[in-house]
């Protein structure tokens, strides 16, 4: 699977930027480090994280810890893994029945697709999964979820368009309890232009869930589009003011994303990165692994 991470990530701007840097500039000197910093910033690592990483390496270079560019690259790898290791915390849905996962994030981030992939993953692990169509704001979202449920024999609780999201999710948790469901995955609306409305809605969902299980939701999973660059950091910041996010999924890291945003998120929030999306099919949602991710990005 290490090779498959690399195949998916090697077209990434991060990977391409670093490869070309070390080809253009094989000599170990301060210019190389300046260019490395620029490359990291261009790949969405963020100004502060890039500067910290490079200044750490520069000190070590001046102490002559590295003999050549490959030694520097090895140290960079180590530093990048160290940055991501603390957020490598896989989601464990055992121990609660049902385990309630509330999925949040702005429209287009990949929420519905991620819910489909998660349902498939947990179903394949022989868990009983149920979906709650809590994005009642968009008719298409309810339909998308239903289609997915039918195709994979996973029940979907919905109340049609304009229903109250908290009521849908409350009903779903009751149904999940009575049917012995293992994991309930609840979709939610993702509008950010009415932040007050979204805050009220997510707040109400959390309150009604607690009426049934005061530990629910057990996970608030925020889905973020990896192609949105530093904006992803702002999105997480905004959502954290609305709801207690407990884990992240970064999607679309195949394709045109600059994988650096994962480092920026790890440094800024320290929130667990549960999964990354490396493609559109069900098996393209990977449990996040710091080493596999970094090795996929490096030349
Ligand atoms: P939602 O509005 O947040 O529910 O977003 P959707 O789940 O509808 O996803 C928006 C688009 O992103 C769809 O075309 C998905 O196929 C695509 N998408 C989601 N995750 C990934 C991923 O990991 N990689 C790629 N390449 N596309 C993805």
Task: Tell me the per-residue pLDDT of 232-285, one tens digit each, with 9 for 90 and over.
Answer: 999 999 999 889 999 999 999 997 778 899 999 999 999 999 999 999 888 899
- Residue burial 274-288, b: 16+ Cβ < 10 Å; e: rest: bbbbbbeebebbbeb
Distance (Å, rounded) from C-alpha 289 to C-alpha 269? 17
Instruction: Look at residue 192 and tell me whether its pLDDT is greater than 70.
Output: no
For atom 2 of ligand 1, the residue with the nearest CA is 108
Q: Is 55 left (phi over 0), alpha (psi -120 to 50) or beta?
A: alpha
> Three-state SS across 218-243?
CEEEEEEEHHHCCHHHHHHHHHHHHC
User: 10: pLDDT confidence band, cut at 50, 70 and 90?
Assistant: confident
Q: Is 64 left (phi over 0), alpha (psi -120 to 50) or beta?
A: left
Instruction: Look at residue 193 and tell me whether its pLDDT is greater than 70.
Output: no
Instruction: Look at residue 153 and tell me whether its pLDDT is greater than 80.
Output: yes
155 lines ligand 1 (CB under 6 A): no
Q: What is the largest CA-CA distance in the chain?
A: 66
Give the predicted TM-score (pTM) of the model: 0.95
Mean pLDDT of 97-113: 95
ipTM greater than cut 0.95: yes
Report cis status (omega within 30 of 0) of the bond before 217: yes
CA distances from 102 to 79, 143, 160, 203, 299 (A): 33, 18, 19, 12, 37
Best residue for ligand 1 mutational test, from 142, 251, 259 (most atoms within 8 Å of Cβ): 251
The residue that leads in pLDDT, 192 or 111, is 111
- Closest residue by Cα to residue 245 from 215, 280, 269: 269
Say how many Å lie between the CA of residue 108 and the centre of ligand 1.
Answer: 6
For atom 22 of ligand 1, the residue with the nearest CA is 252
279 lines ligand 1 (CB under 6 A): yes
- Per-residue DSSP letter, 100: E
Distance (Å, rounded) from C-alpha 68 to C-alpha 179? 62
**Beta carbons within 8 Å of 269's beta carbon, 6+ residues apart:** 236, 240, 248
């Amino acid at each position: 699977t290490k090779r498959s991470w690399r195949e998916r990530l090697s077209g990434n701007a991060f990977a391409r930027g670093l490869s070309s840097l070390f080809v253009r500039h094989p000599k170990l000197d301060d210019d190389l480090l300046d260019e490395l910093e620029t490359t990291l910033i261009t790949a969405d690592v963020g100004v502060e994280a890039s500067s910290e990483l490079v200044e750490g390496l520069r000190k070590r270079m001046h102490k002559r810890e590295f003999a050549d560019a490959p030694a520097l690259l090895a140290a960079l790898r180590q530093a990048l893994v160290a940055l991501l290791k603390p957020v490598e915390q896989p989601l464990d849905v055992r121990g609660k029945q049902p385990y309630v996962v509330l999925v949040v994030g702005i429209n287009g981030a990949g929420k519905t697709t991620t819910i489909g992939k998660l349902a498939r993953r947990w179903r394949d692990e022989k868990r009983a999964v149920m979906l709650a169509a809590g994005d009642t704001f968009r008719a298409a979202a309810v339909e998308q979820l239903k289609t997915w449920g039918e195709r994979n024999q996973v029940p979907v609780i919905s109340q049609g368009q304009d229903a109250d999201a908290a009521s849908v999710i409350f009903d779903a948790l009751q149904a999940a309890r009575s049917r012995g469901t293992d994991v309930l995955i609840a979709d939610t609306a993702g509008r950010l232009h009415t932040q007050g409305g979204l805050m009220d809605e997510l707040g109400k969902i959390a309150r009604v869930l607690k009426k049934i299980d005061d530990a629910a939701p057990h996970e608030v999973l925020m889905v973020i589009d990896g192609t949105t660059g530093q904006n992803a950091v702002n999105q997480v910041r905004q959502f954290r003011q609305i709801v207690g996010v407990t884990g992240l999924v970064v999607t679309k890291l195949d394709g045109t994303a600059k994988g650096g945003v994962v480092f920026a998120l790890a440094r800024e929030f320290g929130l667990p990165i549960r999964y990354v999306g490396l493609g559109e099919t069900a098996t393209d949602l990977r449990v996040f692994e710091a080493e596999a991710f970094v090795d996929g990005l490096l030349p």
